[in-house]
A = this chain, B = another copy of it.
Amino acid sequence: MSIRDLARHLDISIGTVSRALNGKTDVNQETRERVLEAAKRLGYVPNQSGRSLRQGTTNTIGFMIESTIETVDTGGGFFMPVFEGVQSVFRRHHLDLVALLCGTDEEPAEYLNRVVARRFVDGLIISATTRHDPRIDFLLERKIPFIALGRSETAGDYPWIDLDFEGVAATAVNRLVGLGHSRIAIAVPASDINLGYVFLDGYKRALANKGIAFNPDYVFRSYANEEGGYQIASAVLAQKPTPTAIVLVNENMALGLYRRFYESDIRPGRDIAVIGFRESTQSRFLSPTLTCFRISLRDLGIKLAESLLSTMPAFEDHYPHEKVELIWPMELVAGESDQGKL
């Protein structure tokens, strides 16, 4: 069922059929309707390879996700809601969204190289940005439209949207200070992912604002998951003087942290204050419930998609070019985990 078959069936030329289907102006209204009707009736759908070859465009956007130990455990569904938001925008423009999952046995930059070389996608969303991310230079040099979910250290001349790690760290510290804490620990990822550095910066700055000296011994590094939380809890308990509060960079850490504390009869919220990171399906069901921060993930996805389109020349009539360097706000969700008295 090619366009040729359809044209033969309607007894008009394939050029006209193509123009009718693509909404070109120079085609009679009546014939357009005939074409559309026949296409639907016969179940004709344009062959993507054909159009791609001709137009040099694939109508596909890739969302690259790494399955590193750090990001694999996005419990509570981080990416799915974002994806839905992205997809809702793309669908209006007949763009298909695919997730490109880079395994642990391949370098992200290598993987990306393959994707780009094969001209698989028209644009890209990358995530889990590292401090100095080679993918960004690569995409800039190849002039592939892209947007990063998460900024690198040199958040230079490329579009990115990032969560408000700095703001979250500051809000958490301020809140804890307000509750009377001064020995405030922080948990960051051990990896090179940039958000850890941003988070740490926000923490330091907030401490400084409150006139509290920064103590490097209160910075704990491990995996951004349950296991990491457990290990950090052990380290926290071993540290003297023991912190009275801890701020987590990742909500999955909370469960492991809780577990380890329980084993030493330390009850979060009563004996030590804990502020998690992102509100997830789990945070409400922990005991005590986790004080954390809410993100409108779907809206984030929508903004991500719109921003990407604004960097693509083919869409500049709908989405005029704009510089996107956006910090996405997060809203405090008070729980019980930071509410104990000192």
Q: A residues bordering B, Cβ < 8 Å?
A: 43, 45-50, 52-53, 58, 62, 67, 72-77, 80-81, 83-84, 87-88, 96-101, 103-105, 114-115, 117-120, 225-227, 229-230, 252, 255-256, 258-259, 262, 281-282, 284-287
Contact = CB atoms under 8 A, between A and B. Distances in A.
Nearest to A262: B287
A280 B211 CA distance: 42
8 contacts: A43-B117, A47-B119, A49-B58, A75-B75, A87-B103, A88-B105, A96-B120, A259-B285
Give the number of times this chain occurs in the complex, counting copies.
2
Contacts of A43: 117
Given A98-B99, A101-B87, A103-B88, A80 B58 contact: no
A299 to B, nearest CB: 15
A53 B58 contact: no
Contacts of A281: 73, 75, 225-227, 252
Nearest to A252: B281
B83 A77 contact: no
B226 A282 contact: yes
A83 to B, nearest CB: 5
Contacts of A255: 255, 282, 285-286
Contacts of A225: 281
Contact of A285 (B83, B104, B118, B256): B256
B45 A53 contact: no
Nearest to A75: B75
Contacts of A76: 73, 75
A100 B63 CA distance: 11
